[in-house]
């Protein structure tokens, strides 16, 4: 593991040094990430397989209360594997994706920060010391900030980077308070001490829980705290968005899970709170996604939605812990954890696909695309797999994890009283709604982008991505299918990590997991049958049509003499019934100038859906703060002498105050 | 002990001279002299245990503070064509009076400060603090960029004085590090002065406020 970390650090330094040697710097950067990923996966897989050989390394670190203490336990390993996999694949993809900038600017910094981001994410997962964790957390935030602002020439990218930086630091502020309170209570910064002692005082535990939810939730993207996601993800280069959305935001979930191991027995309202957060994030996330016109922004909102689903799983698990219901614990946490991996796979895949579209067609506007299925068959096929997976349809992987959460909520809800059953049934209803809306949203995204006819010049000249970009997408797509098809096996592998975090008897865990095997196998079998049937039908059709002449016409041609691409459905029109239904929640603004007269000449429709919490919550608050602080503007006058005077006066006042 | 005290008195006198002088050229020379005198401090303060470390530190200090920095600054001054500080924020007489009161305050402060046992001279801490504050005062009250660099050097000399005086306690490595910092800082400032002069035809820092955000 240490070798892996060293490789990443080396990559970060070397790529920075050979800034301008274009193809070499890309391959070196990607190469060091891939090597590190391979090296790092080995111990992680060993731990997952239940090996007693837990890797552990400690070294003194000259920072107050700090120690370089890293360890791989099953929880870390579970998050580490998708992180390393997606990092490596995105790095390979990045080689092709960044080729566009070759010669125009040095690619050293972007690769250096990429290595640094992977390094810091790995360290966040490995760290067992509070200071080390916070340190890695900050490096992660800063490295990703520089990656987001890669295209800093554009105003909107700088704005996005700024929002991200502010949001992530506000989150860190809460985490700092969280760690300091924990350290004061236990007198140590050591995770193992925290986990062993636990927090005894119920009130303190609840305060810590709230701090952790806000702090980690900002990174994960819980609904009112998610504002940076829809800004930063579209702004970043696509392979970075894939990495950030696929795994970086999961460090927030990891932090929360790790926190639960410190805090002792949870009261009921923690579970309720998480379920409420999950429902808000999930439902609102997918609704806002439905209303977007920018492909990557749409995907960013889907990250909010999926984080919501994961949180639902965690909430159900916490309810289980409070009430001592093993089935809820196992299936709730298990579903949430599995969804972490699944989301890393399919969201990584979708962002890479969106990047390929952007790369090939030069635009992210859904309404300017169309007909890419014929021009970019590989991208289209893998994107379709990702879309089906994220909509939670069998037999792909998204279905498996959502199914676990469903099953847990059903089983837990039926046998429990009102206080447990009500949130659980709300969870079931909400999850079903989320799944349906996600399917609608991806029908829109896939249909408008890849089907039909090109809606603009850009789209009609789109070209397929090269192999460095296709290969990662292909691997991720295969991963989605494999997890779906081998669902019972994958669910079984949750055993180690669940035993690790829930402290339940191994027999209880495996018993509850085994109970899901039969319905899962049944569904997988059904899906396999369906796919076979489909394949047979396709073959049959081909056979029947083999001797006949088949005429292909443009899509939506409808036999018109001169059909145009503008006669097609657009993204807005496709989503309109749903966005109208949820209008009060979304606050979509429409500007319509309807056609007039018998031969109308001009007509226009423009819809925008600004983020509700950004507009209603943060903007007023930040404007007020800005107004208030601008009164202090006279302090900054540009006179060097007075600046030094400030320092001198501060020093003297402190000195005199101390000596008094 | 005697030698140390003489050096400390010289440091105080040079500081006062700096506060009261308007000619840039002579100020640079005074700072150079102060640097050379301070270079002798580690040898005299630890006369009973002469070692290579102290000798090396002394040589390095004299070379940098006595030769390299002045040469740099003279070059910058020649290129920017400044002969004297004009219209400082605080006049020379007032500066001198301020300097004397800073000296008094420093001595008062050191009666209240807990001191390490093995300090070379009782005057060491007050003089060090006086140098630090005098340097800050120079930076705050003068307009020419060159005068501010000089103030910065005096400030650093104060830090150095204290560091050398208690050298057995504080690591010499730290001292060497500070020296390196100052070297880089003066280097950068020399270049900056040159560029400010080229862009603006003057090096009055109070007129650079148009550069603020």
Number of residues written out for chain A: 660
pLDDT for position A456: 80
Interface of A with B in 618-657 (CB under 8 A): 636-642, 644-645, 647-648, 651-652, 655
A637/B212 Cβ within 8 A: yes
Predicted-complex ipTM score: 0.75
Q: Which residues of B touch A652 (CB under 8 A)?
A: 133
Shortest Cα distance, chain A CAs vs residue B112, angstroms:
6
Of A641, A651, A655, the CB nearest to B89: A641
d(CA A146, CA A133): 20
Shortest Cα distance, chain A CAs vs residue B212, angstroms:
5
Q: Is the pLDDT of residue B191 over 80?
A: no
Backbone φ and ψ of A548, nearest 5°: -105, 165
A659/B109 Cβ within 8 A: yes
Contacts of A117 (CB under 8 A, 6+ apart): A140, A143, A144, A147, A240, A243, A248
Bridge partners of residue A590, in order along the sequence? A607
* Residue, of B97 and A557, whose pLDDT is higher: B97
Q: Which residues of A touch B136 (CB under 8 A)?
A: 644, 647-648, 651
Q: What is the 3-state secondary structure (H, E, C) of A283-351?
A: HHHHHHHHCCCEHHHHHHHHHHHHHHHHHHHHHHHHHHHHHCCHHHHHHHHHHHHHHHHHHHHHHHHHH
Residue B199, domain extent? 2-211
Query: Which helix (H) or strand (E) segment is A259 a member of?
Result: helix A250-260
- Low-confidence spans in chain A with pLDDT less than 70: 20-22, 52-54, 552-559, 561-563, 638
A566: contact with B, CB 8 A cutoff: no
Number of compact structural domains in chain B: 1
pLDDT for position A535: 92
Asked whether the beta carbons of A398 and A389 are under 8 A apart, the reply is: yes
B211/A638 Cβ within 8 A: yes
A642/B136 Cβ within 8 A: no
d(CA A389, CA A344): 11
B209/A639 Cβ within 8 A: yes
d(CA A27, CA B76): 46
**CA within 13 Å, CB half, A647:** 11
Shortest Cα distance, chain B CAs vs residue A68, angstroms:
25
Query: Which helix (H) or strand (E) segment is A589 a member of?
Result: strand A589-593
A637/B139 Cβ within 8 A: no
What is the SS3 assignment for B117? coil
Bridge partners of residue A57, in order along the sequence? A70
Q: What is the pTM of this model?
A: 0.79
Cα A586 versus chain centre, distance:
22
d(CA A232, CA A242): 12
pLDDT for position A604: 77
Question: Which residue from B minimizes the CA distance to A641?
Answer: B140
Query: Which helix (H) or strand (E) segment is A69 a member of?
Result: strand A67-71
B206/A641 Cβ within 8 A: yes
Output DSSP code: residue A187: T
Asked whether the beta carbons of B38 and B8 are under 8 A apart, the reply is: no
Q: Which residues of B touch A651 (CB under 8 A)?
A: 136
DSSP letters along A19-31, please?
TT-HHHHHHHHHH
pLDDT for position B87: 73
Q: Is the pLDDT of residue B147 over 90?
A: no
Of B112, B140, B206, the CB nearest to A644: B140
Counting one residue from chain A and one from chain B, the pairs whose CB atoms sit within 8 A come to 42
Contacts of A496 (CB under 8 A, 6+ apart): A47, A48, A49, A50, A74
Asked whether the beta carbons of B160 and B38 are under 8 A apart, the reply is: yes
Asked whether the beta carbons of A442 and A291 are under 8 A apart, the reply is: no
Asked whether the beta carbons of B42 and B57 are under 8 A apart, the reply is: yes
Question: Which residue from B minimizes the CA distance to A646?
Answer: B140
d(CA A208, CA A516): 34
Question: Which residue from B minimizes the CA distance to A635?
Answer: B212
Shortest Cα distance, chain A CAs vs residue B59, angstroms:
31
pLDDT for position A347: 92
Shortest Cα distance, chain B CAs vs residue A653, angstroms:
12
Location of structure tokens 């809606």: A455
Q: Which residues of B touch A637 (CB under 8 A)?
A: 209, 212
For A467-492, give one letter per residue: b (16+ CB within 10 A) or e: ebbbbbbbbbbebbbebbbbbbebbe
Shortest Cα distance, chain A CAs vs residue B10, angstroms:
24
Cα–Cα distances (Å) from A304 to A186, A281, A386, A503, A567, in that order, read 34, 6, 16, 30, 33
């Amino acid at each position: 593991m240490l070798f892996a970390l060293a490789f990443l650090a080396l990559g970060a330094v070397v790529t920075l040094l050979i800034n301008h040697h274009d193809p070499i710097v890309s391959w070196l950067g990607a190469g060091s990430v891939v090597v590190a990923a391979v090296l790092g996966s080995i111990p992680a897989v060993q731990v997952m397989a239940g090996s007693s050989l837990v890797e552990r390394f400690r070294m003194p670190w000259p920072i107050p209360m700090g120690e370089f203490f890293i360890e791989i336990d099953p929880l870390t390993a579970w998050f580490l594997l998708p992180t390393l996999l997606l990092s490596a694949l995105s790095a390979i993809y990045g080689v092709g994706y960044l080729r566009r900038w070759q010669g125009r600017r040095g690619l050293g910094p972007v690769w250096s920060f990429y290595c640094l981001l992977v390094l810091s994410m790995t360290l966040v997962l490995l760290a067992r010391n509070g200071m080390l964790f916070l340190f890695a957390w900050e490096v992660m935030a800063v490295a990703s900030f520089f990656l987001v602002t890669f295209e800093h020439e554009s105003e909107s990218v700088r704005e996005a980077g700024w929002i991200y930086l502010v949001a992530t630091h506000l989150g860190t502020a809460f985490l700092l308070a969280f760690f300091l309170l924990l350290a004061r209570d236990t007198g140590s910064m050591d995770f193992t001490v925290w986990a062993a002692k636990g927090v005894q005082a119920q009130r303190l535990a609840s305060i810590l829980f709230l701090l952790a939810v806000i702090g980690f939730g900002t990174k994960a993207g819980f609904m009112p705290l998610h504002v940076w996601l829809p800004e930063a993800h579209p702004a970043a280069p696509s392979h970075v968005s894939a990495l950030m959305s696929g795994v970086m935001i999961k460090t927030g979930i990891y932090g929360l899970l790790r926190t639960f191991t410190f805090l002792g027995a949870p009261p009921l309202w923690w579970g309720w709170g998480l379920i409420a957060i999950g429902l808000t994030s999930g439902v609102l996330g997918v609704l806002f996604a439905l209303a977007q016109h920018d492909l990557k922004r749409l995907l960013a909102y889907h990250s909010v939605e999926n984080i919501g689903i994961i949180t639902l799983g965690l909430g159900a698990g916490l309810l289980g812990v409070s009430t001592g219901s093993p089935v809820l614990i196992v299936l709730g946490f298990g579903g949430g954890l599995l969804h972490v991996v699944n989301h890393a796979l399919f969201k990584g895949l979708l962002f890479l696909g969106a990047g390929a579209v952007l790369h090939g067609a030069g635009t992210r506007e859904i309404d300017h695309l169309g007909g890419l299925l014929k021009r970019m068959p590989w991208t289209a096929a893998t994107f379709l797999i990702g879309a089906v997976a994220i909509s939670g349809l069998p037999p792909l992987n998204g279905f498996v994890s959502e199914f676990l959460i469903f099953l847990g909520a059903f089983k837990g809800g039926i046998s429990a009283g009102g206080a447990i059953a009500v949130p659980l049934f709300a969870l079931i209803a909400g999850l079903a709604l989320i799944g349906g809306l996600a399917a609608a949203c991806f029908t829109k995204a896939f249909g408008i982008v890849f089907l039909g006819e090109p809606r603009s010049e850009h789209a009609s000249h789109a070209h397929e991505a090269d192999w460095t970009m296709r290969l990662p997408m292909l691997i991720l797509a295969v991963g989605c299918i494999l997890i779906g098809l081998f669902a019972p096996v994958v669910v079984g592998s949750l055993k180690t990590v669940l035993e690790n975090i829930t402290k339940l008897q191994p027999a209880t865990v495996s018993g509850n997991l085994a109970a899901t095997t039969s319905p899962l196998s049944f569904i997988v079998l059904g899906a396999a049958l369906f796919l076979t049937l489909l394949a047979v039908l396709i073959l049959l059709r081909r056979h029947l049509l083999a001797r006949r002449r088949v005429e292909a016409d443009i899509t939506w041609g409808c036999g018109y003499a001169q059909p145009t691409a503008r006669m097609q459905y657009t993204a807005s029109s496709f989503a309109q019934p749903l966005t109208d239904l949820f209008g009060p929640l979304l606050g979509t603004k429409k500007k319509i100038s309807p056609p007039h007269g018998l031969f109308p000449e001009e007509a226009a429709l423009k819809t925008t859906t600004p983020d509700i919490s950004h507009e209603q919550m943060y903007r007023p608050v930040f404007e007020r703060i800005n107004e208030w602080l601008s009164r202090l503007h006279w302090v900054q006058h540009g006179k060097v002498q007075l600046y030094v005077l400030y320092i001198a006066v501060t020093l003297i006042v402190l000195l005199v105050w101390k000596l008094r | 002990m005697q030698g140390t005290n003489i050096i400390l008195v010289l440091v105080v006198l040079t500081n006062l001279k700096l506060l009261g002088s308007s000619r840039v050229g002579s100020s640079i020379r005074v700072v150079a002299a102060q640097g050379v005198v301070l270079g002798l401090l580690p040898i005299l303060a630890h006369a009973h245990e002469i070692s290579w470390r102290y000798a090396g530190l002394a040589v390095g200090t004299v070379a940098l503070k006595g030769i390299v920095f002045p040469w740099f600054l003279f070059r910058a001054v020649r290129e920017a064509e400044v002969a004297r500080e004009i219209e400082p924020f605080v006049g020379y007489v007032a500066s001198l009076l301020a300097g004397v009161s800073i000296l008094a305050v420093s001595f008062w402060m050191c009666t209240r400060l807990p001191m390490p046992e093995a300090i070379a001279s009782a005057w060491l801490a007050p003089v060090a603090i006086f140098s630090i504050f005098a340097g800050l005062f120079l930076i705050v009250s003068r307009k020419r960029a060159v005068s501010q660099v000089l103030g910065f050097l005096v400030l650093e000399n104060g830090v150095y004085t204290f560091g050398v005086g208690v050298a057995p306690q504080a690591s010499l490595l730290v001292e060497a590090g500070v020296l390196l910092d100052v070297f880089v800082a003066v280097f950068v400032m020399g270049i900056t002065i040159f560029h400010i002069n080229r862009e603006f035809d003057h090096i009055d820092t109070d007129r650079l406020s148009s550069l603020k955000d």
